[in-house]
Amino acid sequence: MKRTLLITGGAGFIGSHVVRRFVTKYPDYRIVNLDKLTYAGNLANLRDVERCPNYVFERGDICDLDFVCDRMQRYAVDGVIHLAAESHVDRSIRDPFTFARTNVLGTLSLLEAARRCWDGKWEGKLFYHISTDEVYGALGLDGGLFTETTPYAPHSPYSASKASSDHFVRAYHDTYGLPTLVTNCSNNYGPYQFPEKLIPLMINNIRRRKPLPVYGRGEHVRDWLYVEDHARAIDAIFHGGKVAETYNIGGFNERRNIDLVRTLIRTTDRLLGNPEGYSDGLITYVADRAGHDLRYAIDSSKLERELGWRPAVSFDEGIERTVRWYLENEAWLDEVVSGEYERYYERMYGAR
Ligand code: NAD
Ligand code: DAU
């Protein structure tokens, strides 16, 4: 094997796309997927690659320093792509400590494991930390974009924990010389996203004729990126990015939540053969999220300029693919929503 990469959180939404891309595109890399399999981690997301000879799954907690050190040494890991995290803002409002533990202490334990394991031999090593645009806070509706130099101003316990983890990553570079790199990405969508997030939640509720909860008046704006484009950016940056740099990754694709929900209704109804407007009445305005950031929008021109990356999948194409995928994979959705997949993993791997 030419290299061994440790990908954390590879059983989650974005991680599974990154693992699939690296396992299939680089057969001479060994890919070790380290995941705790929380409620958000599902090995069914990787069934198509789980038997590939260059793929290894390790169930474990990134907060467990001894375990991480052991696996990094055992596999002679020379690159880390760190995605494991608690990722849902609403959950962070209810349970901030879990977010501080996994996102802050978990990242710190991975950094420390890499520092000990690589022990100053930095040549050919890279610790690549995946972060979010939410660390930059919120933009107004009158324009402006987050750039790599926008000051951090997180508002939710989730974004505060991600901001803290970003600071630790940079501190490990500046203090110990660990070769690190950080990217901050906008909202992803696509197959295998846990249906608590806006897009899969809405598709699932339209399908099951349940209310579509829109927070506040639905005027909040997000910048949407198809998940495979994010995985492609991670590949380009892992191989061509400069150590100690930050790159923003965005979709150039802003949508108000209410407009996005209407697009999802139109697309889902059409694919289900329902008449136009059939599900409009499901829209239900509910209490706003506490501390709800009004608008996110990313300037990813640095990434385009330096590494030639731009999103390849248009929003219309991405939404069509995504809605089709959820409708064609109802079994996956039902399993995830009912919690049946958790019982399956309990039988296979023991209690979570
Ligand atoms: P996800 O919630 O779908 O998956 C997270 C994965 O991490 C799961 O497989 C889970 O089991 C695993 N995990 C959680 N705690 C763990 C622990 N202590 N030890 C080991 N594994 C653990 O998340 P996602 O949406 O795929 O996001 C992945 C990363 O990308 C996160 O770091 C997130 O902050 C970042 N990000 C997400 C988005 C987005 O729109 N989803 C955008 C920008 C950045
Ligand atoms: O910007 C990147 C971030 O995008 C990632 O770092 C996070 O991990 C990811 O979860 C996502 O955060 P958001 O809070 O933007 O995503 P979410 O899908 O939860 O919500 C998108 C928007 O839709 C947000 O403005 C809140 C709103 N919303 C969400 C849900 C779940 C609703 O109106 N109704 C809902 O039921």
Whole-model pTM: value is: 0.98
pLDDT of residue 342 exceeding 90, the answer is no
Q: Ligand 2: which residue has its CA nearest to atom 16?
A: 197
Q: Which ligand has its closest atom nearest to the C-alpha of 41?
A: 1
pLDDT of residue 75: 98
pLDDT of residue 346: 73
Ligand 1: centre distance to CA 269 (Å): 30
Q: Is the CB of 89 under 6 A from ligand 2?
A: yes
CB environment 199-214: b (16+ within 10 A), e (fewer): bbbbbbbbbeeeebbb
> 3-state SS of the chain?
CCEEEEEECCCCHHHHHHHHHHHHHCCCEEEEEEECCCCCCCHHHHCCCCCCCCEEEEECCCCCHHHHHHHHHHCCCCEEEECCCCCCHHHHHHCHHHHHHHHHHHHHHHHHHHHHHHCCCCCCCEEEEEEEHHHHCCECCCCCCECCCCCCCCCCHHHHHHHHHHHHHHHHHHHHCCCEEEEEECEEECCCCCCCCHHHHHHHHHHCCCCEEEECCCCCEEEEEEHHHHHHHHHHHHHHCCCCCEEEECCCCEEEHHHHHHHHHHHHHHHHCCCCCCCHHHEEEECCCCCCCCECCECCHHHHHHHCCCCCCCHHHHHHHHHHHHHHCHHHHHHHHHCHHHHHHHHHHCCC
Nearest of 4, 1, 177, 188 to residue 85 by alpha carbon: 188
For the stretch 193-252, pLDDT in tens is 999 999 999 999 999 999 999 999 999 999 999 999 999 999 999 999 999 999 999 999
Q: Which ligand has its closest atom nearest to the C-alpha of 84?
A: 1
Is 158 a residue of the active site?
yes
Closest atom, ligand 1, to C-alpha of 249: 43
Ligand 2: centre distance to CA 349 (Å): 31
pLDDT of residue 201: 96
Q: Which ligand has its closest atom nearest to the C-alpha of 85?
A: 1
pLDDT of residue 141 exceeding 90, the answer is yes
In the chain, the amino acid numbered 113 is: A
What domains can you pick out in the chain, each with its CATH number?
Answer: 3-188+226-250+297-314 (3.40.50.720)
pLDDT of residue 25 exceeding 70, the answer is yes
Closest atom, ligand 2, to C-alpha of 87: 8
pLDDT of residue 199: 98
pLDDT of residue 351 exceeding 90, the answer is no
Please state the rounded mean pLDDT for residues 81-102: 97
Contact 157, 96 (CB under 8 A): yes
Q: Is the CB of 186 under 6 A from ligand 2?
A: yes
Q: What is the number of other CB atoms lying within 10 angstroms of the CB of residue 2?
A: 9
pLDDT of residue 340: 77
Burial of 78 (0-12, 13-18, 19+ CB in 10 A): buried
> Which band of pLDDT confidence, cut at 50, 70 and 90, is reported for residue 352?
low
Spatial separation of the C-alpha atoms in residues 36 and 22, rounded to whole Å: 20
Q: Is the CB of 257 under 6 A from ligand 2?
A: yes
Closest atom, ligand 2, to C-alpha of 293: 25
pLDDT of residue 337: 83
Nearest of 176, 149, 197, 152 to residue 299 by alpha carbon: 149
Give Cα 215 to chain centroid, integer Å.
22
Ligand 2: centre distance to CA 89 (Å): 7
What is the CB < 6 Å shell around ligand 1? Answer: 8-9, 11-15, 35-38, 40-41, 61-63, 83-87, 102, 106, 130, 132, 162, 185, 187-188, 194
Percent of the chain with pLDDT over 90: 94
Q: Ligand 2: which residue has its CA nearest to atom 23?
A: 198
pLDDT of residue 349 exceeding 80, the answer is no
Closest atom, ligand 1, to C-alpha of 197: 41
pLDDT of residue 338: 85
Is 320 a residue of the active site?
no
Ligand 2: centre distance to CA 198 (Å): 6
pLDDT of residue 93: 96
Spatial separation of the C-alpha atoms in residues 68 and 70, rounded to whole Å: 5
Q: Which ligand has its closest atom nearest to the C-alpha of 146?
A: 2
The mean pLDDT value of the chain amounts to 96
